[in-house]
Structure 1
Amino acid sequence: MADEPHFLKEQDRKALEVERRSETEATLEPLQLGQRVRAIRLSQNLTLEEASKRTGLARSTLSKIENEQISPTFTAVTKLVHGLGIDIPQLFAQPRSGAKPAGRRDITRSGEGKPHPTPTYEHELLNTSLTQKKMVPFRTRVHTRTFDEFTDWIRHDGEEFLYVLSGSLLFYTEFYEPVELFEGDSAYYDCTMGHALVSTSEVDAEVLWVTA
């Protein structure tokens, strides 16, 4: 089991590390959410009063957020996103100064991913024609039915997002009690922590994994 994530380590992970090293710390800016909110509001030519009406947040609350006097709650962030007509990533990040779009794109048609079977999982690697990806997406059918089928924890570098596409499964992690996940459930976790999946539905569960 310990050698299962090797397909993630060689080509994509090494390329990603090279790319990260090539970026200097000067390109990184601390998150200043208040300034982002103000910049987005002004780009839409909105006064505080107008933004208040659009978002449903009090004018005084918006002012405090913009002046970094308070941190917005999740509910406030949701209202800002909907009221200002933006996506959540736009609120928390902006392109680096002078950054140009790379124009990279890759499409994988249904069933046309690169197969990567293992003793416990049947992986389908997606968007494999792109190199130096910052994320590695793959679809997996979980064959295992008991934790005893694993010889060791699966662990590798990075963080991982898991989304259950169909069926149900037990999600085992090294430092937590197993939790059963059902279709539509998701998890985000540090994958240096041991983890493993076991199908609990009549048919093998299918999941979407994205590793960063």
Structure 2
Amino acid sequence: MTDDAPRRYKVAEAARLSGVSASTLRLWEIQGLVIPGRSQTGHRQYSAEDVARLQRIAWLRAERGLNPAAIREALEAEEADLQMSEDSAETGIGRKLRSLRHAAGKTLDQVAGDVGVAASSLSTLERTSKGVGFKTLHELAHYYGTTVSRLSGQDEDNVPAMVRSGEWNTWPETTPGVTVQLLAEGRRAMDCHRFVLAPGAASEGDYRHEGEEFMHVLSGRLEIVLDGDQFFELGPGDSLYFESRRYHSWRNRHDGETVLLWINTPPTF
């Protein structure tokens, strides 16, 4: 299987993945919500993008109670937002990851299998620079022999030594609810960041790399887990220092934003 020959799903498979019946898929086709392709023998064939759309339609119907017209309107609005994201991603992390994959001679399915991520998620990341957790982003950077900081454009030359309050440059927001602001720019011996985490924002898994890390919570509450069995809950004014080679994962445990300073040395994340 290659990028030019993506997997296709039969009606029964697409229905199972979407959590609805095959007859419902046929109804949605009549309503114009999803138009699948056809095989040479005339059988319906759903792409991975079609299945993702079906899952979204099922959610809009079940969780928000929308009728077909309202679902169509919601999908059109989401597609417009996605197009804007794709346009902005032309100079972002997604384009860089796609270039690295092409340079390595790899297909989406090959990279997805090697890293352990869904090919559809990887495709979305390359197109929009969004949609994956910090764990996946770190593993992709490691896979290509680079770092998230470099992918984010942090190591550019000719940057100011002083960064004034509120004038921080920001990493592309690849992970929902996670904003990373640069407190020091350029190629430094330390990664100095200001993290702003929305309620529930998390690393979505544990990861590790070389170096040492220091974090200091300014507001909110952060839970961090080291090596899967050491739990720390940090509140305003609390700090934590640990070796980056230890597996670490984190989550905002506050019902509002959590803001913290996070320093890595050397810049291996």
With structure 1 as the length reference, what TM-score do the two structures score? Answer: 0.48
| Structure with more contact order per residue of length (Cα contacts < 8 Å, sep ≥ 6) | 1
The structure in which a higher percent of residues are strand is 1
The structure in which a higher percent of residues are helix is 2
